[in-house]
Structure formats: structure tokens, C-alpha cells
Structure 1
């Protein structure tokens, strides 16, 4: 198991503000209480009430905490991990760009947690929680200049909360969001020069047309890394370098492997086509995970023992499908007679009661 940064943050928060519930003795005692509920020696309602009384109090204590207070506490707890001191860097929390800012854990609505400078927005230094990434001076406020494209726009290597990325141009009023492209995990950051950066910025890359339907097959980088896409089928690429070099033959192989694993949207092909259903639409025999079956539209019917895919007829398939189709819901029966009878009883009861009172 490898701890992730999000897990470290959650654990640090819980250990400081909900330490009782992370204690091994709490778990052991709760196991004993649950055993007593199982044996009938304690009511589960009483156990839950006792738990909730203390837990709701703990929740109340954290409700008034300020986010800055929580972040500073986590900074202290995770300092050896977030800001490891070394002989070469005895002041790891000192900002490496402006020189006088203090590095701290920060959060953003879309980017999650990251490390940033206290002098923001004057200093825009940021880095991932795990520490400096390969790329050296890419962590500066303007990144590392790789060169310029054919239109003279600067191309830079930068680092953000998600890691390294390349950017074309600078943010301005005309272009508040310049074009960017992530550098996928596993790609050598030192090999990202101007040519490589322009290739990444040009993604998605058209590979060609699918031989079966003529739709475009393309390669690009998404939230979960590099992939090839055909229609609505996405297949991941294990080697990040392939996103820039993959050809049609290799793309077809990757897409076929995805479909074989059940992750693709490619429709299964029948092993036999039986003909037209009386209500319209083709009926076919398919080889399924649990044996052969016949299919019409969205209705599947498993072939019973004694009928093989080679021998099944259209008539047999239609009968099997009819048996599998959900029966039409019967119209609700009228209950008027019952209501009438009940209505008659009420006046009779009142009359009887009245007669009794009069007698």
C-alpha cells in the first residue's frame, strides 16, 4: 500500500480532531458492544444513542473551526512530509521564488490541495504536495521558457497542483485561459523540449478512420492519462509516449483489447442470424458468458438444454423470447362492489345504534 496525499490529509485531520475514533481500543470496545447486541444482552437503540451522544459532541467541536486553523495544524503534523529539511535546504518552508514568503498547504475548489506561497498573488509559486517534481525551474511564476511557436507565442513548462504541464502564450484579457496540455505520468520531463511541447499542445491527434464505420480514431490525454478514442469507446495507453506515435494498427489492437474486456461499447455479433421477428427486427443466436442465447431487440433468452445454437429455429427462438418478455401489467380490478358493501354497512350500523338508543 502506498499512501496518497489526500489520504495523508484526511488521516492528519482525523487524528487531531477525531482521535478517539481512530484509537484501536475504540474499535475493540465497539466490537464487544456489537457482540452483546447479537447475543441480546443490549439493545441496539441504546448502543446507537450512546455512540451518537459523544460523536455529535465531537462534530460540534469542529463546526466552529476556521479553515486557516485546520490548515496550519495539518502543516505542523505533516511538516516532515510536506517540508522535509535537508542539509542543502535547512529552511524548506521558505519560498524558493520570492525568497521571503512562507510555503503552506492551500486548497482550491477544483484543484484540491497543493503547496503555495503566502505572498500570493504577488508570488504565484505552487507545487504538488509530494514535493518538487522533475522539471527544475518549471516551478517559477512564469515557468521554464522552452521557445516560441511559429506565431511567436512563448511555450513554457510549468508546474501546478496537478503536476507538470506546458502552456502556449500568457494569460491576458484577450486570452484569460491560454492553451495547456498536461504531461502524463511516466513521460520524462527532461525530454520535454519545444518540439515535444508543441506536439502535446496539438492534441487530440487524429490517427485515421475506423475501417468498419469510418469514424475518426484519435489519441489524446485526459483526466486519467493518455488514451485512444473511437466514438464513445476510450482505451487507456500504458506507455505515455504512445499518445504521440501510435498508428492505426496499434490503435485497433488497443481498442479490440478494451472491447474484449467488456469495457467497450462495440455490439456483440451473432453467431447465427435466424431471421425477422414477427413484430419486426432481427433475431440472432449469440455466445454469452453463461452459454448460448437468442436475442431480439433488448430481450435475451438462454437456450435450454437439448437445443444447440446450430439447431435452434426461428420459431423456437420467438417462443423463448416471448416467454422471457415481461408480462403486461394487468389493469387494476374495480373494487366498486366492495366499497358499495362497506357503504351499506355504515348506515345500517348507525340505524341499529339509533334504534338501540330509542329502545
Structure 2
């Protein structure tokens, strides 16, 4: 980044001092910028030259400020605002909105339209008058034009349903559904309120330095005299440092010519920052601007790149993985035309033309797959088929015919430096030095690609890997080694060559996972032999004659006697517990459930939804966050040490949005059938048996149509859930 030391607004040559917007993404000044670049020495020299000199107000410029309300929500703006204000991902937003729509609280949530019906406008204006007064209600209803290209406006904007809007308090909603409904309700009501008005002021203060240079400083302020719609709703920003619309900046009352004294003059360093990583909100905005996909597909697009591991979340930022670089490199090199931004946008235009009946689908598909020279087209161009110029179509078959020519190793390799190469393999990314026979080391899945330096790669390669030879088991004479496996570090014995590994006579080597207190670097032969001695026979219960053993299991150390087990408090007890202690433990009533609660691993704060304290705990299936009501398991990319409160709240909110797991009624139905079948034989009379058979046949015949009705209802429910029904 280029350092821009800036203090004076103008130099003696009259050029404005450069700011962040004058630099390009490469950190260099943009060409043609008429600005003065002050380095640290020049800035400090100017500050020293201005010390103690008199200043005066050169100009005071005041302009009226006016801000109009934001349009009602459409799908993309709802996803963006829910991400900024509520921390919802696009998928979660649509899941919650779907529930609100299905339960009759909002209108259809997949729409490009910002238009409100006359009923909705009347309802919104009525609530403005009721909640804020007539002073906040404009004389005429407001209408909003869509700015989306090829907008699909079959539905109106997303708004509270009905001809009278229910306030959030009147809905009885809770949690995520309440918060999203409140956001939609506020935005809709605010869209029918008056503008916010005020004054924006720019004050310029000038002084002459000791060496005769003229320096001018400027400050801008804003005063809102009537808040208007800002009383109800203020839109969020993707940049956390950006100023919101309702923020005022008040400047002292000064007039042109007023003399001023500078109490302090400093030279502050400013470095240009790289563009911020995409969040879900900013990515949705970018997809819409580039005309990639549709509002209804943005959530699934983001969900797909997350689920496939192309990106991972670090806080709210979406970070590309090494896998994504390999995939993008493959597609750009071998299928460049298909992943071109312009191709995607033009393809959307083509599909819209086909949908409007202005183009034919079969000729378009034929040319897309076979190419322009396909004999079935008869030499006709794409324009003749009603598909525009069609330059972006054709030849998919040719592209995919010879996939064997693609060098998979080449497209998944990226040079790091100093003969170190990063490769993306089947089981994740790794660094390699010295070719196939050289050094290798795995790269953490959650490492951002821009943080992999030569120094870090060397550090990863220097870490011990492979088998750690610990020594020889004196009892068997077999070598004992420690390894880092797929499910964690473990110790095992090496069987002699020729030992059968498959079939009836197969011999399995003894294997044991390392305890939590052990590591590959510190484990010794004695430790390994103790682990391989498990399960350890503690003794025999004199009352039942059953053998009691101490073992290490998936959920920790425990005692086992037949089918009865008891948890041990520590891993060391597996080697030290005596028969008397084991019998005393079995004499106690077995604890059901969790037993004594473990202390939390980390405290995150108070959840904004449930208003309960959120902590990280260690559970049977790994660490999880909980507020006492909802539990959410940490994802692969989450770490107990680095997880933030916001990430914890997000995981809990996602779990709440999914709702409890639905239980099927199949078992209950099966039990009823069994009970009925058992009761039938108790009837003795032959006449009663015949009657019972007839009754059963009649009941079965009557129930058959009910199944069809139920099936129809289910299909209708699915149709609504899939977004094919409208309000």
C-alpha cells in the first residue's frame, strides 16, 4: 500500500492533497489525478511550518440537504439488509421469509418489484398517521420504479400482508421471524413517509506557512432539521466505517473572515487499503449488478459455494479456499467462454427473450451444444433463430469431448516461491518441495490463500510428519510407531512382512488413539505400551462373576461390565483404578444423561434474540455453542479459541431457523396396527369374526380415498413451499 501523508487540502501550486479514492487497487496514484502526494517528510515539514501561524475562515458554504425514503424491499435488498442489520445469511433470510409467507405475515418473498398495491399504500399511510402523526405523511402516495434489468414483477414488493399492517408487537412472533418481520414492516412504513431535510455545511480555513506556502483545511458537517422517514428506518452499510444517513456532524458557528487559532497541528499517515472481502450482503449486490443469476437463486448460489468448500466464512467475510483457485483456474483455462461474466449476462438476456416468445428455445440449445456449424441449423445464424448476435453460444460438445487432455496436476498447482509449490489434492491442500519425492506438508483448510507465505510454507514443511518410531515392544519384538491419522494421532504396532491382512486368517495390528494430554512430539514408548495394553482387566465382580475392564472410548474413559458401563473422571484412571474402586462405582445408581455439567470452554456474551448468556461447551460430538435453549455444533472452520460472539449468535440463529426435527408418525401407526391385529383373535364367535373382517374391509375401502386427498394436500403444500403459489 502507498502511504499518503495528508494534512493540507491545497498546496501552494493549488493541487488538492491526495486521499484514498485517488489510488487504484494496486496502491499507485490513478493516472490523470491532479493531486499532490505528500510523503511523511513533506507532511511533517508543512505541519511544523504552520505551527503558531494565524488562520482565518476563508469560506462557509451551506446547502440544503434532502434524503428521500428507500424503496420497499425486493428479494435482493431484503437479503442485503438482513445481512447488515441481523447478521443473516442469504439462505437463512429466505428460510425465515418463507415461514412468514406461509403463515400469512408477509407477501411473496421472491420478487424484483418495488411496487406496492393501492391497498398496501393505504395501510402504510394509515400507520404513518397513527404512529408518527400527519406531519410525517406526504400529500400524495409515493411510488417507486424498478431499476432491475428484465425485472420479473408478477408480485408486488415484499411487505406485511393484509389491508391493515400488524405491528411487530401484534403478530405474536418470536426470534428470527419477529426480527425479519419487524425489518420488513419498518421499511414498508418508511417508504410512505416524508423526506428527511436539513443543511450540509462546508467550512474552509486557510493559513500561510513560515516558508510562504498557502494551506487550506476543510471540514464538512450535516444538520438534520426534520428527520422524516429516518424516524422509522435507516438503511445499513456494507462498510462498517461508513456513515449512516441519520448521523449528524455539527460544526461550530463561524462566519467568513473569522480569525482562528490552531491548538494542535499533526501529520497523520494514511495507507490505502485493499478492497474488503465480500460479505453475503455485498456479494448479493455484486451478483445483481453483474446480472448473474436471479434474486430467487442468490441464496442457493451462495449456499453452493459454501457447501462445496469453495469459500469459507471468517466472521461475516467470505474467504476463497485453495480449492476455489484450482476450480477457477481449470474453468478459465479450458472453459473460459462459459464462465465469462458477459456470457452469463447475455445468456440471461437470451433466456428472457425465449420466455417472452421473442426467441426459440430449440435452435438456441442446438447451437449452444453443437456449435454454429452444426448441419441441423442449415447455415442459419443465431440472429435468424431470433437469438440476437449469438456470439457467446456454440461448441459445448467440442469443449467436453477430450477432457483427458486436461493436466489435473497442473491446474491444481500454484508456485509459492523458493521451489515450494502448493497443490490441491483429493484430501485437501498441501505444500510440496523437491517434487514428488521431496517434502510434503498439509495446509490448514481455514488458512486464507493470501496468508500462505514462503516463511509459513517452510514452517509447515519443517514440522515432523510420517511415522514416529518409538521403539520395540519387548513382549512381541514388533516396532511401535506413532502416526497422525485421519481421525487424529494414534500409536500402532508394525506387523512383520507377509502377515495376512485380509481373509479369515487376517491379523489386525493393535492400535490406540493418543490421550488428550499427549502429542506426537512428546509421546514415548512407555506411553504407547500403556495405551496398547487397553482394554485393561481390572478384576472380576464377585457377585456376578463378570469381568470388569477399563477402556478408552469415543466419549472418554469408562469401565465396562457386561453391557453395563460407568464413566471415569480422568484418562489416568484407566491405568490406576482398582477393583474395589470399580465395585464402589458400580454400587452407585447409574447417572442418566449428562451427569455433572462440565464448565464452559468459553463465554461469548448475551444472545440478542433469547437474551440469555451464550457459552461454548464440549459435548459428545465436539464443541458447541448454547444459550441454554438452543444448541449448535461448531463447524469445521470454527475454532474454540478464535470464535467471536457474533459467530456464536449466527450459529444459534441458523439452528433456530431450521426448527426442531420433524418426527414421523409411522411408528405410532405400526403400533396401532399391531394392537388391532392382537385384539382380533380374542373374538370367539365365528359370526363376530366374519363381521370383523367385513368391517375391516369396509374401513379399508373408506380410507383409500382419504390417502389420495392427503396426497393432494401434501403436493399443494410442496408447491407453496417451492415458491409456485402467490399471495
Asked whether the two chains share a fold, i.e. TM above 0.5, the reply is no
Shorter-chain TM-score bucket reads 0.3 to 0.5
Return the index of the structure with the highest Cα Rg. Answer: 2
TM-score normalised by length of structure 1: 0.45
* Bigger relative contact order (CA 8 A; separation at least 6): 2
TM-score by length of 2: 0.25
